[in-house]
């Protein structure tokens, strides 16, 4: 992921706690290698977890990464609406809105 796409505040915090962020990023790489799931599926799972946590920043981040891994906008939208019976309609609408922040910006 290019630094231009990352929010300024995130980059400031990452710089302040560089070793910590490096460790977290390394952990993320390792856990993806530990099982049989393909990259696209792994990103959709992480995106769903971010939506469940109602974390706008995490949804933005995971949508970016999912798109970079080849996940289509329709796959992202489907992953979000699958959460309806788990997190409820309002949570899904919020997650769809956050996903659209990134998807619509990428189309421009």
Percent of the chain with pLDDT over 90: 80
pTM of this prediction? 0.84
Q: Is the pLDDT of residue 2 over 60?
A: no
Q: Which single residue is written with the structure tokens 């910006």?
A: 105
Tell me the average pLDDT across 19-48.
94
Q: Is the pLDDT of residue 73 over 50?
A: yes
Q: Which two tokens stand for residue 47?
A: 């995106």
Q: Tens digit of pLDDT for each residue in 83-103?
A: 999 999 999 999 999 999 999
Q: Is the pLDDT of residue 4 over 50?
A: no
Q: How confident is the model at residue 1 (pLDDT cuts 50, 70, 90)?
A: very low
Cβ-contact 37, 45 below 8 angstroms: yes
Q: Burial, 54: exposed, middle or buried (Cβ in 10 Å; 0-12, 13-18, 19+)?
A: middle
């Amino acid at each position: 992921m290019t630094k231009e796409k990352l929010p300024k505040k995130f980059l400031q915090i990452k710089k302040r706690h560089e070793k910590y962020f490096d460790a977290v990023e390394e952990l993320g790489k390792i856990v993806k290698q530990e099982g049989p799931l393909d990259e696209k599926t792994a990103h959709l799972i992480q995106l769903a977890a971010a939506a469940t946590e109602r974390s706008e920043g995490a949804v933005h981040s995971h949508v970016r990464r999912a798109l970079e891994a080849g996940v289509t906008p329709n796959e992202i939208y489907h992953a979000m609406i699958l959460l309806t019976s788990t997190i409820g309609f309002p949570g899904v609408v919020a997650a769809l809105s956050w996903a659209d922040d990134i998807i619509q910006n990428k189309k421009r």
